[in-house]
């Protein structure tokens, strides 16, 4: 494990990752035919600070979609503290995101949440991207951290789903991870803004957690059905 960490930390490795991912982004996203969500586009084209939320199964390409606006926006992704999170962290920076905050519900979550809270307080223009389930099963079950982040920062939550006409589903992965096939039609749907009142109590937060989970699942199902009819 230490050897893998040292490889990831090596400058040459990171340079190769940057070049590979930039080529991949240019090639793959240049071959998709997107149906955009106009309300989300207005947010992405602005510098409005928000909290973006997505499920694990589509987060790579959803964050790839966000990255097209990184030159305009200051977005910090939350990456797992695991070994895989280290690769995700390097990849995120290669795609133009700000340095990721490391931590998850399984490891270092409270520390990461505190770091993000301070970051958003100190930088009024900063946005954050969060994968709302994981890094362990069950999939598509919302962890409460994103609500606390939105509550303390005052930033609205935007739920986002990217779905593709032709996709390889890795059924053996806990999240049924999606790998879109180039030359596919793509649908981007968003639901928001969702604001979390600063005075919301524990029971209110749990009720909102269930509601947001249902809304993101409904958004994912709607996008999948829409692109299937494209």
Spans of all domains in the chain: 2-228
Nearest to 21 by CA among 108, 90, 98, 79: 90
Rounded CA Rg of the chain: 17
What per-residue confidence (pLDDT) applies to 89?
Answer: 58
Rounded CA-CA distance 49/74 in Å is: 8
pLDDT tens per residue across all 230 residues of the chain: 444 445 445 566 667 766 776 777 676 666 677 899 999 999 999 989 999 999 999 988 888 888 888 878 888 887 654 454 455 555 666 666 766 665 555 554 577 778 888 888 899 999 998 888 877 789 999 999 899 999 999 999 999 999 999 999 999 888 898 988 888 899 999 999 999 999 999 999 999 999 999 999 999 999 999 998 86
Length of the chain: 230
Return the pLDDT at 127: 93
Return d(Cα 53, Cα 102) in angstroms, integer.
Answer: 16
Q: CB-based contacts of 97: which residues, under 8 Å, 6+ apart? A: 63, 67, 70, 75, 76, 77, 129
**pLDDT at site 93:** 62
**CB-based contacts of 56, cutoff 8 Å, min separation 6:** 131, 133, 134, 135, 139, 175, 177
Closest by CA to 106, choosing from 76, 133, 146, is 133
Specify whether the CB–CB gap between 49 and 126 falls below 8 A. Answer: yes
């Amino acid at each position: 494990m230490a050897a893998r960490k040292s490889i990831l930390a090596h400058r040459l490795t990171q340079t190769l990752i940057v070049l590979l991912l930039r080529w991949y982004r240019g090639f793959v996203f240049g071959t998709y035919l997107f149906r955009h969500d106009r309300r989300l586009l207005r947010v992405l084209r602005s510098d409005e600070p928000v909290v973006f939320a997505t499920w694990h199964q589509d987060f790579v390409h959803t964050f790839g979609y966000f990255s097209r606006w990184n030159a305009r926006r200051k977005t910090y992704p939350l990456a797992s503290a695991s070994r895989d999170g280290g690769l995700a962290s390097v990849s995120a920076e290669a795609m133009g995101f700000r340095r990721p905050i490391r931590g998850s519900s399984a490891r270092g979550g409270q520390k990461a949440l505190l770091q993000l809270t301070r970051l958003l307080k100190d930088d009024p223009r900063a946005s954050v991207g969060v994968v709302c389930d994981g890094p362990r099963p069950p999939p598509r079950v919302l962890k409460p951290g994103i609500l606390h982040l939105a509550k303390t920062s005052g930033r609205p939550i935007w739920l986002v789903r990217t779905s593709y006409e032709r996709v390889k589903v890795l059924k053996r992965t806990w999240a049924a991870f999606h790998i879109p096939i180039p030359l596919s039609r793509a649908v981007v749907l968003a639901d928001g803004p969702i604001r979390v009142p600063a005075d919301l109590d524990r029971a209110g937060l749990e009720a909102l957690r269930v509601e947001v989970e249902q809304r993101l699942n409904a958004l994912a199902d709607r996008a999948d059905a829409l692109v299937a009819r494209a």
